[in-house]
Amino acid sequence: MEHIVRSAIKATNFRTIGRLAFNGASTFCACALIWEHLITIQLSEGPSMYPTFDVRGDWLLISRMHRNGKGIEVGDVVRYGHPNFQGVHVAKRVVGMPGDFVCQDKPLSTSIGEEGNMIQIPEGHVFLAGDNLPWSRDSRNYGPVPMGLINGKIVARVWPLSKMGWVTNPLQPAQLDAQNI
Amino acid sequence: MSRPQRPRGVPTPNSRFRVHAQEPKLQIPEPIVSEGPSLSKEPRASLISHLLTNIRQRISALPYPVRRVCRTFRWAVPMLPIALFFPEHVMQVMWVRGPSMTPYLNEEYAETQTKSDIVMVNMWPWGSLTPFKNERKLERGMIVTFRSPANPSHIAIKRVVGLPGDRITTREPCLRQTQIVPWNHVWLEGDAEDPRKTLDSNTYGPVSLSLITGRVFAVLGPRMRWLKWTDWESDKGESGSDDAAVNSYGQSTRGRVLKNAVKLEQPMLN
């Protein structure tokens, strides 16, 4: 140990300090770029997505390649910046894509499509809703969200090991057998 | 190679001093014990240094152009992430296209239609020191870049006209007569006098602060100048420009804003 410290002190000069700082900054930037452009692992929070994610929080794997709404489909769970709070990120499910007609229910209501008004989602926006309808503040409160706020798609749950798995999109095109047609 | 050497203070055992034979015997084992750990450590250090010298020798044996390429890579590879990180979080150079900011940026757009201003954009979220906390302080008159709500792959540049709580008397394409800017949103408008030349908040409504990416603080070309957002509020006009039309336009826009018309309540988060 002492030997290592001594040799380190002996080797310290402006050149090595500068090189160390440069390499450190480079490593930090590379990690930040991967974190912001490829994958993020984050702890979820709150009851708004209850049957899908636990109320006490799950560690989620978020693909940042889908930011700005690239390749997002109806039924995907996305992470987006909250339109009313800076620096707050929320995970909700996509219910409508640009051009779709969606019934904007009353906030925090449990009924679906009974009251509220039918809206057409404007260009470049998506309609988002939590899975736990009475406990979720989502597009029913603040209307369709611009796609530019979407900064990732939730791909998998990584932490409680017992519940590890992909987050699937339940809204798939219907597969009809030849007999039924 | 590195045989344990006898310490200098200890005399060599000599048959002539047999009477004192016990004392040296007691003293000799101590240095051997103390040298034990250093013996076990030495091969590790020498292995690393041996490897390093081996690599250095191999590199110096390479032909000179190859060595030069290696040396370039040694600083170019760590430079790459920094070069990618910098424009995203610190500052960036952008080209302004289109006539939406015409009297202020792209000054000669009406005549040439080809020249585009090169602007410097401050991407650092001013107001906080860490680059990931996205909290911005905006003022009326600042020129900001943001992701267009209508087209997420497009970055737009407009002027902040109204802050949260302001009541705006809107321009032509907007459906409502007046609009109150909601919490954490801003009203952005282009400087073009003709409302058909700019696609702004009159078309897509107030823009969320979370969409804003940066603030324009300088123009590099064709006419280099600093942009000061405080000039917007003062009556003397923007950047000392003596163009009467520009000033009158700024005044008419400011006249459509009723500052702090309502006091907004913070909405619920969850």
**pLDDT tens-digit map of A36-66:** 999 999 999 888 888 889 888 899 999 999 9
Put simply, whether B122 touches A (Cβ < 8 Å) is no
The bridge status of strand B167-169 relative to strand A77-81 is unpaired
Say if residue A94 is in the same domain as residue A149.
yes
Say if residue B190 is in the same domain as residue B220.
yes
Give the whole-angstrom CA distance, residue A123 versus residue B149. 8
The bridge status of strand B91-95 relative to strand B118-122 is antiparallel
On whether the CB atoms of residues A80 and A149 are closer than 8 A, the answer is: yes
The bridge status of strand B225-226 relative to strand A165-166 is unpaired
List the single residue in A33, A125, A147 with the smallest CB-CB distance to B81.
A33
Residue A69: pLDDT band (50, 70, 90) is confident
Say if residue B77 is in the same domain as residue B158.
no
The answer for residues whose C-beta is within 8 angstroms of residue B9's C-beta and 6 or more apart is: none
Are residues A81 and B81, on separate chains, in Cβ contact within 8 Å? Answer: no
Amino acid at B1: M
Say if residue B211 is in the same domain as residue B98.
yes
On whether the CB atoms of residues A79 and A91 are closer than 8 A, the answer is: yes
pLDDT digits 0-9 by tens, A101-146: 999 888 888 888 788 889 999 999 999 999 888 888 889 988 999 9
Are residues A29 and B84, on separate chains, in Cβ contact within 8 Å? Answer: yes
Put simply, whether B183 touches A (Cβ < 8 Å) is yes
Say if residue A134 is in the same domain as residue A64.
yes
CB atoms near residue A39 (< 10 Å): 15
Say if residue B78 is in the same domain as residue B176.
no
Residue A74: pLDDT band (50, 70, 90) is very high
Task: Determine, yes or no, domain membership for A176.
Answer: no
Say if residue A30 is in the same domain as residue A55.
no
In 3D, which of B101, B104, B141, B102 has the Cα closest to residue B233? B141
Say if residue B73 is in the same domain as residue B179.
no
In 3D, which of B94, B119, B101 has the Cα closest to residue B221? B119
Say if residue A99 is in the same domain as residue A143.
yes
Task: Determine, yes or no, domain membership for A16.
Answer: yes
Minimum Cα–Cα distance from B131: chain A residue: A32
Say if residue A102 is in the same domain as residue A22.
no
List the single residue in A32, A142, A148 with the smallest CB-CB distance to B149.
A148
Task: Determine, yes or no, domain membership for B63.
Answer: yes
Question: Domain range holding A6?
Answer: 1-35
**3-state secondary structure labels for all residues of chain B:** CCCCCCCCCCCCCCHHHHHHCHHHHHHCHHHHHHHHHHHHHHHHHHHHHHHHHHHHHHHHHCCHHHHHHHHHHHHHHHHHHHHHHHHHHCEEEEECCCCCCCCCCCCCHHHHCCCCCEEEEECCCCCCCCCCCCCCCCCCCCEEEEECCCCCCCEEEEEEEECCCCEEECCCCCCCCEEECCCCEEEEECCCCCHHHCCCHHHHCCEEHHHEEEEEEEEEECCCEECCCHHHHCCCCHHHCCCHHHHHHHHHHHHCEECCCCCCCCCCCC
Task: Determine, yes or no, domain membership for B124.
Answer: yes
Task: Determine, yes or no, domain membership for A179.
Answer: no
What stretch of H or E contains A90? strand A89-96
- Count of the separate structural domains present in chain A: 2
Amino acid at A116: G
CB atoms near residue B180 (< 10 Å): 18
Minimum Cα–Cα distance from B79: chain A residue: A26
In tens digits, chain B (270 residues) has pLDDT values of 455 565 666 556 555 555 555 555 555 555 555 555 555 555 566 788 889 899 888 888 888 888 899 889 988 999 999 999 999 888 899 998 888 888 788 777 777 777 788 999 988 876 555 655 556 778 888 899 999 999 899 999 999 988 988 898 888 888 888 889 998 899 998 888 888 888 888 888 899 988 998 889 899 878 888 888 777 777 554 444 555 555 666 788 888 888 888 888 888 776
Say if residue A61 is in the same domain as residue A19.
no
- Count of the separate structural domains present in chain B: 2
Task: Determine, yes or no, domain membership for A115.
Answer: yes
Active site residue A136: no
Say if residue B142 is in the same domain as residue B102.
yes
Task: Determine, yes or no, domain membership for B82.
Answer: yes
The tokens for B110 are 């009406």
Question: Domain range holding B82?
Answer: 51-87
Give the whole-angstrom CA distance, residue A17 versus residue A40. 31
Say if residue B197 is in the same domain as residue B186.
yes
Supply the pLDDT for residue B113: 73
Say if residue A28 is in the same domain as residue A46.
no
On whether the CB atoms of residues B170 and B178 are closer than 8 A, the answer is: yes
Q: Check: pTM over 0.80? Answer yes or no.
A: no
Shortest Cα distance, chain A CAs vs residue B210, angstroms: 5
Task: Determine, yes or no, domain membership for A68.
Answer: yes
* Catalytic residue chosen out of the listed positions B25, B60, B158, B239: B158
On whether the CB atoms of residues A148 and A124 are closer than 8 A, the answer is: yes
Say if residue B63 is in the same domain as residue B159.
no
* Mean predicted confidence (pLDDT) in A90-110: 90
Say if residue A73 is in the same domain as residue A2.
no
List the single residue in B45, B152, B210 with the smallest CB-CB distance to A83.
B210
Say if residue B206 is in the same domain as residue B73.
no
Say if residue A94 is in the same domain as residue A159.
yes
Say if residue A20 is in the same domain as residue A58.
no
Minimum Cα–Cα distance from A34: chain B residue: B81
Are residues B210 and A86, on separate chains, in Cβ contact within 8 Å? Answer: yes
Say if residue B167 is in the same domain as residue B145.
yes
Residue B223, Ramachandran bin (φ over 0: left; ψ between -120 and 50: alpha; else beta): beta
End-to-end CA distance of chain B: 72
Query: Which chain B residues are Cβ-neighbours of A142 within 8 angstroms?
Result: 267
